[in-house]
Amino acid sequence: MLRYTLLRILGAIPTLLLVIALAFLMVHAAPGGPFSNERVLPEHVEEKIEKKYRLDEPLPKQFIRYVSGLVQGDLGPSYGYRDYDVDELIAETFPRSLRIGALAITLALLLGMAAGTVAALRQGSWLDKFVMGFSMTGLSIPVFVVAPVLVLLFAVKLHWLPAGWTSQTGISRYVLPVITLALPQIAYIARLTRASMIDVLGRDFVRTARAQGLGTATVVRVHALRPAMLPVLSYLGPAVAAVLTGSVVVEEIFGISGMGQLFVRGASNRDYTLVLGIVITYATLIIALNLIVDILYGIIDPRVRYR
Amino acid sequence: MRAGRGIRVTGGILIVVAITALVGPWISPHDYFTTNFDRPLAPPSLGDMHLFGTDDLGRDLFVRTMLGIRVSLLVAIVASFVSLVIGVAYGAIAGFVGGRVDAAMMRFVDTLYALPFIFFVILLMVAFERNFLLIFVAIGAINWLDMARIVRGQTLGLREREFVEAARLMGASPLRIIFRHIAPNLVGIVIVYVTLTIPQAILVESFLSYLGLGVQEPQTSLGALVENGVKLMESASWALLIPATLLALILMCFNFLGDGLRDQFDARSLS
Please check whether residue A207 is in contact with residue A219, taking contact to mean a CB–CB distance below 8 angstroms.
no
The reported pLDDT for the residue numbered B263 is 77
CA dist., res. A198 & res. A122, Å (int): 10
Q: Which residues 213-232 of B are in CB contact (within 8 Å) with A?
A: 213, 223, 226-227, 229-230
Q: Do B248 and A141 touch (CB under 8 A)?
A: yes
Question: In sequence order, which residues have a C-beta less than 8 Å from that of residue B203 and are 6 or more positions away?
Answer: A142, B251
Output DSSP code: residue B182: I
Instruction: Nearest chain A residue to B236 by CA: give it.
Output: A152
**Does B203 reach chain A within 8 Å, measured CB to CB?**
yes
The reported pLDDT for the residue numbered A113 is 92
Q: Which residues 127-166 of A are in CB contact (within 8 Å) with B?
A: 136-137, 139-142, 144-145, 148-149, 151-152, 156
B177: distance to nearest CA of chain A, Å? 31
B67 in any annotated domain: yes
Please check the confidence at residue A103 and state whether its pLDDT lies above 90.
Answer: yes
Please check the confidence at residue A108 and state whether its pLDDT lies above 90.
Answer: yes
The reported pLDDT for the residue numbered A114 is 92
The reported pLDDT for the residue numbered B271 is 45
Please check the confidence at residue A307 and state whether its pLDDT lies above 70.
Answer: no
B244 vs A contacts (CB less than 8 Å) = 145, 148-149
B124 vs A contacts (CB less than 8 Å) = 26
B126: distance to nearest CA of chain A, Å? 6
Looking at chain A, the whole-number percentage of residues with pLDDT higher than 90 is: 10
Q: Do A290 and B248 touch (CB under 8 A)?
A: no
3-state secondary structure string across chain A: CHHHHHHHHHHHHHHHHHHHHHHHHHHHCCCCCCCCCCCCCCHHHHHHHHHHCCCCCCHHHHHHHHHHHHHCCCCCECCCCCCCEHHHHHHHHHHHHHHHHHHHHHHHHHHHHHHHHHHHHCCCCHHHHHHHHHHHHHHHCCHHHHHHHHHHHHHHHCCCCCCCCCCCCCCHHHHHHHHHHHHHHHHHHHHHHHHHHHHHHCCHHHHHHHHCCCCHHHHHHHHHHHHHHHHHHHHHHHHHHHHHHHHHHHHHHHCCCCHHHHHHHHHHCCCHHHHHHHHHHHHHHHHHHHHHHHHHHHHHCHHHHHC
The reported pLDDT for the residue numbered A189 is 92
Please check the confidence at residue A279 and state whether its pLDDT lies above 50.
Answer: yes
**Does A286 reach chain B within 8 Å, measured CB to CB?**
yes
- Hey, is B75 helix, strand or coil? helix
Total domain count, chain B: 1
The reported pLDDT for the residue numbered B267 is 65
Which of A18, A249, A275 is closest, CB to CB, to B123?
A: A275
Question: In sequence order, which residues have a C-beta less than 8 Å from that of residue B157 and are 6 or more positions away?
Answer: none
In chain A, ranges of CATH 1.10.3720.10 domains: 90-300
Instruction: Nearest chain A residue to B233 by CA: give it.
Output: A152
Which of A14, A136, A253 is closest, CB to CB, to B230?
A: A253
B252 vs A contacts (CB less than 8 Å) = 136-137, 140-141
What mean pLDDT is predicted for residues A96-120? 92
B105 in any annotated domain: yes
CA dist., res. A57 & res. A43, Å (int): 17
Which of B116, B124, B244 is closest, CB to CB, to A244?
A: B116
The reported pLDDT for the residue numbered A182 is 93
Please check whether residue B105 is in contact with residue B232, taking contact to mean a CB–CB distance below 8 angstroms.
no
ipTM at complex level = 0.76
pTM of the model as a whole = 0.81
φ, ψ for residue A121, nearest 5 deg: -70, -30
CA dist., res. B96 & res. B91, Å (int): 8
**Does A234 reach chain B within 8 Å, measured CB to CB?**
no
B229 vs A contacts (CB less than 8 Å) = 148
Helix axes B222-232, B237-270, angle to 10 degrees: 140
Please check whether residue B61 is in contact with residue B52, taking contact to mean a CB–CB distance below 8 angstroms.
yes
pLDDT < 50 regions, chain B: 1-2, 271
Instruction: Nearest chain B residue to A27 by CA: give it.
Output: B127
Q: Which residues of A266-285 are buried (b: 16+ CB within 10 A; e: fewer)?
A: bbebbbbbbbbbbbbbbbeb
- At A55-87, the pLDDT tens digits run 667 778 888 888 888 888 777 788 777 778 888
Task: Read off the CATH number of the domain in which B197 is found.
Answer: 1.10.3720.10
- The domain made up of A90-300 is a member of CATH 3.80.10.10: no
- What pLDDT band is residue A167 in, cutting at 50, 70 and 90? low
Q: Do A145 and B226 touch (CB under 8 A)?
A: yes
- At A188-217, the pLDDT tens digits run 999 999 988 888 888 888 888 888 888 888
- At A219-269, the pLDDT tens digits run 888 888 888 888 888 888 888 888 888 888 888 888 888 888 888 888 777
**Does B2 reach chain A within 8 Å, measured CB to CB?**
no
- Hey, is B216 helix, strand or coil? coil
- At A7-61, the pLDDT tens digits run 888 878 888 888 888 888 877 776 655 565 555 666 777 677 767 666 667 778 8
The reported pLDDT for the residue numbered B130 is 62
**Does B252 reach chain A within 8 Å, measured CB to CB?**
yes
A141 vs B contacts (CB less than 8 Å) = 248, 251-252
- Hey, is B260 helix, strand or coil? helix
B233 vs A contacts (CB less than 8 Å) = 148, 151-152, 156
The reported pLDDT for the residue numbered B129 is 66
CA dist., res. A21 & res. A298, Å (int): 30
Domain that holds residue B131: 2-26+60-270
